[in-house]
Amino acid sequence: MQEFLQLVVSGISTGAIFASLALALVLIYNAMGLVNFAQGEMAMFATFIAYTLVNAGMSFWIAFPVTMVLAFGGGILIQRVVIRPVERAPVLTLVIITLGLATLVNGVAGFLWGYVPRSFASPFSPDSVDLGGVFISYRDLGVIAVSGLVLLAIYLLLQHTTVGLTLRAAAHHPEASRLLGVHVSWMLALGWGLASAVGAVSGMMVAPILLLEPNMMQTIIIYAFAAAVLGGIESPLGAVVGGLLVGVTVNLAGAYIPNAGDLQLAFGLGIIILVLILKPNGLFGRAATRRV
């Protein structure tokens, strides 16, 4: 039982990382009707920036928000320069462009920092806290707390501010929003900025667990896809719940199914396929009905 609880908590911690990246996917899905295949690479790139800042002597807790701001700006820049010119292109064009973007970002990171994995020091203590026989590591708690705060901030921004309202309106009803004076194109750029920043959080949280190298996010992004699809791809809340569910499930499966380690990724893909077959709208997705 204790082991089970420990596994659940560390699953929630991993899940929080998936949730951040899944939320990034959902934000952009809502902004352009398509998942951004470069999301993981963008997060990796941001993490390298954080790494560089920390190596230059900056404290992690300063490098963290600085990186988020830079990632935010980078997301907006990518939307303006790369995505906006092809906004009205067919979906397949956009898919190829985001795939190309992924390759490009990966290549630039490799060029700048090389492919040798580097260790990224965790900002949290390696100790554990004993909660009645259940040992929970500060690292897990730290990841949960930081991700939780960021996700909460995004939630408050989207649901309780005017900017958040216009952003949601622009994403779901661009034509109607324009007629209400919403600068839709800028709102979509803002969506990209937010997605990029929240994705960066997942990278900075996962780097101390994995090793930092240009391909670091390539497995994480599969889990994030699974989480986003599970949550219903359009739902920010769904992405978070989906992320936590995938994190806990994968963690438990890894511990209790013999030799599952090699199969974990297949597990993530399995979740995607199962959800698409059994519940195509995901847990929180709305069935696409519209009143006339």
67 binds another protein (CB under 8 A): no
Q: Which of 60, 157, 168, 265 binds another protein (CB under 8 A)?
A: 168
87 binds another protein (CB under 8 A): no
173 binds another protein (CB under 8 A): yes
Site size for another protein (CB under 8 A): 20
10 binds another protein (CB under 8 A): no
Q: Which of 1, 175, 262, 278 binds another protein (CB under 8 A)?
A: 175
Tokens 């949730």 belong to 19
For another protein, the binding residues in 125-154 under the rule CB under 8 A are none
Give the residues across from 137 on adjacent strands: 128
- Smallest separation, CB 61 to another protein (Å): 35
176 binds another protein (CB under 8 A): yes
263 binds another protein (CB under 8 A): no
Q: Which of 95, 108, 169, 237 binds another protein (CB under 8 A)?
A: 169
CA 43 to CA 102: how far, in whole Å? 11
Q: Which of 73, 117, 183, 211 binds another protein (CB under 8 A)?
A: 183
Q: Which of 177, 196, 202, 249 binds another protein (CB under 8 A)?
A: 177
- Smallest separation, CB 183 to another protein (Å): 5
Q: Which is nearer to another protein, 108 or 169 (CB)?
A: 169
Q: Which of 153, 180, 211, 274 binds another protein (CB under 8 A)?
A: 180
262 binds another protein (CB under 8 A): no
Contact segment (CB under 8 A) with another protein among 46-54, 177-185, 224-232, 244-252 equals 177-185
3-state secondary structure the chain: CHHHHHHHHHHHHHHHHHHHHHHHHHHHHHHHCCCCCCHHHHHHHHHHHHHHHHHCCCCHHHHHHHHHHHHHHHHHHHHHHHHHHHCCCCHHHHHHHHHHHHHHHHHHHHHHHCCCCECCCCCCCCCEEEECCEEEEHHHHHHHHHHHHHHHHHHHHHHHCHHHHHHHHHHHCHHHHHCCCCCHHHHHHHHHHHHHHHHHHHHHHHCCCCCECCCCHHHHHHHHHHHHHHHCCCCHHHHHHHHHHHHHHHHHHHHHCCCHHHHHHHHHHHHHHHHHHHCCCCCCCCCCCCCC
- Smallest separation, CB 111 to another protein (Å): 39
Residues that bind another protein (CB under 8 A): 162, 165-166, 168-169, 172-173, 175-184, 290-292
